[in-house]
Amino acid sequence: MQCSQVSSFHSVELYSFGIGYWPYAPGTWGMWQRYNPENLAALERYVDIQVRDNAYDLEANLAVLKLYQFNPGNFQIIITAQILLKALTNLPHTDFTLCKCLIEASRLEEEPLCSIVTMANHLETCNFREFWIMIHQQPEVILGVKGFETSIRKFICHVVAITYQTIHKNILADLLGGISEADVNQWIAKYGWKDLGNGEVFICNQDENIKTKNITENITFESVASIMATAALAR
């Protein structure tokens, strides 16, 4: 879950990030201009800024990957890895799948992309312990991506909130990456959960979240009269 969302790519004020004036006014971008290879260098610098400043612009990142599709010789594996990692920070949204579909399968077999895809699979299948094992074994993969682990923990807390009524505190700590008790307490407070003092954490009463829905059918005689008449004639 992303901490910071920058302005839409249609109004990418790249000059505000110190990488030069964008030569097109907001709303004037055509498809041909969006995928102009002359803009690739500026967009790649924009990806670096997102990584450094914990910002995020999916549309701009998709444009980078599309430009790599159109111009395979310009492909940059590090930039692509950064885009995929930023997409992971926006789980549970489907950004990662959108980005992955724009990358050639053969490229996804290269490192670090292969490892990032595996990490994504662990997150999407809620295999959080295996995800953190990979992070601890390959810390260089996420090096420099500001706020990455915090964003992932927000996603994990989202999953916990819709899954559990109560959870053991030690299990919660493991799911969040083996963090300390003090850090676990901060996450418990952040989401309004309750430490029961017996090793259990109360998340919520999931039964209260189940809402019945009454559907009222308003069927008038006029609406079925023609059907009844047809049935009578058929006899």
Using 50, 70 and 90 to split pLDDT, how confident is the model at 35? confident
Asked whether residue 140 falls in the same domain as residue 183, the answer is no
Q: What share of the chain is helix, strand, coil (3-state, %, to 5)?
A: 60, 5, 35
- Which range among 31-35, 55-59, 155-159, 167-171 shows the weakest confidence by mean pLDDT? 31-35
Of 133, 159, 185, which residue sits at a domain end? Answer: 159
Q: Which two tokens stand for residue 159?
A: 């999953």
Whether residue 194 is predicted with pLDDT greater than 50 in this model: the reply is yes
- Domains in the chain, number: 2
Q: Write down the pLDDT at residue 12.
A: 44
DSSP 55: -
Whether residue 36 is predicted with pLDDT greater than 50 in this model: the reply is yes
| Per-residue pLDDT tens digits for 210-231 | 565 666 667 776 766 777 776 6
β strands within 118-176, DSSP E: 166-168
Percent of the chain with pLDDT over 70: 75
Long-range CB pairs of 106-114, under 8 A, 24+ apart, other chains included = 107/75, 107/77, 107/80, 110/77, 112/77, 112/81, 112/138, 112/140, 112/141, 113/77, 113/80, 113/81, 113/84
Over residues 173-187, the mean pLDDT reads 98
Asked whether residue 184 falls in the same domain as residue 133, the answer is no
Asked whether residue 90 falls in the same domain as residue 111, the answer is yes
* Of 44, 38, 5, nearest in space to 24 by CA: 38
Which CATH number goes with the domain that contains 82?
A: 1.25.40.250
* Of 205, 195, 133, 137, nearest in space to 169 by CA: 195
User: pTM of the predicted model, to two decimals?
Assistant: 0.79
Of 104, 131, 159, which residue sits at a domain end? Answer: 159
Q: Write down the pLDDT at residue 27.
A: 43
Which CATH number goes with the domain that contains 213?
A: 1.10.10
**For the chain, what is the mean pLDDT?**
86
Q: For residue 179, what are the domain limits?
A: 164-235
Whether residue 1 is predicted with pLDDT greater than 50 in this model: the reply is yes
Whether residue 7 is predicted with pLDDT greater than 70 in this model: the reply is no
Q: Name the residue with higher pLDDT: 197 or 21.
A: 197
Helices (H) then strands (E): counts for the chain: 12, 3
- Which range among 45-49, 114-118, 144-148, 217-221 shows the weakest confidence by mean pLDDT? 217-221
* Of 149, 113, 145, 144, nearest in space to 131 by CA: 149
Using 50, 70 and 90 to split pLDDT, how confident is the model at 13? very low
Of 126, 159, 192, which residue sits at a domain end? Answer: 159
Asked whether residue 142 falls in the same domain as residue 168, the answer is no
Percent of the chain with pLDDT over 90: 71
